[in-house]
Amino acid sequence: MAVPFRPATTLLPSRASSPGRTVRKIGLLGSHASSLRWCPWSDPSWELWGHASSRAWYGRELDRYFDLHRKECWMRCGKKTARYVEWLASNTVPIYMQERHPNVPASRRYPRERILMEYGGVRRHFRNHLAWMIALAFTEGVTTLGLFGVNYGTETEYQNQRGSAEYWLGRAEERGVQLVLPDECTLLAEPAGLYGYESHDEHGALKSEYKHRQFTAAETISPLKTGNAGPPAHLAAEIEAEERMRPAWALRAVAKEA
């Protein structure tokens, strides 16, 4: 059964406030293809939240989008950003941003002050979009969190953000939130063994999974050696194909004035 898209020109009330509702399932989406395929696109019991710039990878319009970068990040000149700005102007799904932007009709100001007051703690461990989304889900009574297309496993900015992602998953589990993590998601799974009990072999040597990870070209968009700083061939192909694969709803052209 196809799930109808919500024409969300105003922010929908929290599902947790519905009489008798005791379960609220929210799927947080990225663009890591191996686990994104397991996203419950047609299951109406799931709300789906994700990053707006990854919309081309999604099987349907989401219930909420997020782009918490500075305005200058998505207003930079370039073919890709120009199309993104056009989409922002025509999108009707609520999108959380740093501020409410008149030229982004569906934008909603993210309640940063409230989130930091209640969940910031001493270190304010917000290092990625996932952290901000999980904290907001806490305020709305989430009971189940699923991660689809989220891995933080490559040697780029994502590897630096991995610790924050696992920190917030730990806070969710501590609150009694059920976590749904596909097998392909390596968060909370690496290294696999218990330190001390399973981290060393029978000779007392540290096992390979506990040593510093060596990334290959397939796991990083940074050059492994000096020279050409272009992306690996498989990523270059994905970048080239991205514009061609966008579904119609992911890139609506802004109506031209006569």
Q: Where are the domains of the chain?
A: 23-190, 195-249
pLDDT the model gives residue 4? 42
Specify the pTM.
Answer: 0.74
Which residue type occupies 83? R
pLDDT the model gives residue 78? 58
Between CA 64 and CA 28 the distance in angstroms is 10
Between CA 244 and CA 230 the distance in angstroms is 21
pLDDT the model gives residue 151? 86
pLDDT the model gives residue 182? 94
Between CA 134 and CA 144 the distance in angstroms is 11
From residue 55, give the alpha-carbon distance in Å to each of 5, 90, 125, 222, 242: 14, 14, 26, 24, 10
Candidates 176, 167, 101; CA nearest to 145 is: 176
- Structure token pair of residue 52: 């707006």
- Long-range CB contacts (within 8 A, 24+) of 79-82: 80/243
Between CA 128 and CA 133 the distance in angstroms is 9
Alpha helices in 100-219 (DSSP H): 112-119, 129-139, 157-174
C-alpha angle with apex 127: 122 to 132, nearest 5 degrees?
85
* pLDDT < 70 stretches in the chain: 1-21, 77-80, 155-158, 212-258
Between CA 52 and CA 95 the distance in angstroms is 8
pLDDT the model gives residue 119? 93
Q: For tokens 């953000």, what's the residue? A: 161
Which residues partner with 107 through β-bridges? 95
Residue 32 · residue 150 · CB < 8 Å = yes
Residue 124 · residue 112 · CB < 8 Å = no
Q: Give CATH for domain 23-190.
A: 3.90.1480.10
pLDDT the model gives residue 22? 84
Between CA 185 and CA 177 the distance in angstroms is 18
